[in-house]
Amino acid sequence: MRYRVCKSFEVESGHMLSKHPGRCRYPHGHSRRIDIVVSSERLDDHDMVCDFKAIKLAVADLLDRFDHAMALNAGDPFAKELIEGGMASRVVVFDDEDPTTEVMARRIFEEVTAAIAEGRTLTDADGNAFGFPTGLTIERVRVTETSSSWAEYGI
């Protein structure tokens, strides 16, 4: 048996899917919910699977990049216009793929996986250090796009 915990986040983000045949190829936005599920066969020294704060700190910069930003395929001509038009800080460019909800879930999964594998120690604003215990596994990242649609990436 495994213990599982989930840390959830919310971001507001826009995207354009240049490969889409319908309306999704036009700029539009979503209120996204992001659920990150990690598990372990045992609890750490604090009787936790993992401190929720460690998960939060591991994805803070990435989620800040997505929040109130427009995600685009690098091949979309609109990407260049936005970046050169002074919006570079609020544009997230995806190389050779559309920023679908599935792709966003994978990117977040990869970020947390790297933090766990590297054994990162993360520090909050108060100077408290948080790390990932050994034996921790990220199982999945679910990104909800609308009240009736979500995408998930994981093991």
As a whole-number percent, the residues of the chain with pLDDT over 70 amount to: 100
3-class secondary structure per residue, 42-105 = CCCCCCCCCCHHHHHHHHHHHHHHHCCEEEEECCCHHHHHHHHHHHHHHEEEECCCCCCHHHHH
Where are the chain's structural domains?
A: 3-154
- For 29-62, write each residue's pLDDT tens digit: 999 999 999 999 999 999 999 999 999 999 999 9
CATH topology of domain 3-154: Tetrahydropterin Synthase; Chain A (3.30.479)
**Would you state the structure tokens that stand for residue 77, as one six-digit string?**
């001509």
Q: Which helix (H) or strand (E) holds 108?
A: helix 101-117
pLDDT band, very low/low/confident/very high, at 86 (cuts 50, 70, 90): confident
Single-letter amino acid, residue 152? E
pTM assigned to the model: 0.94
The Cα 97–Cα 101 span in angstroms is 12
**Would you state the structure tokens that stand for residue 39, as one six-digit string?**
């598990």
Mean residue pLDDT across the chain? 96
Cα 93 to the center of its chain, rounded Å? 14
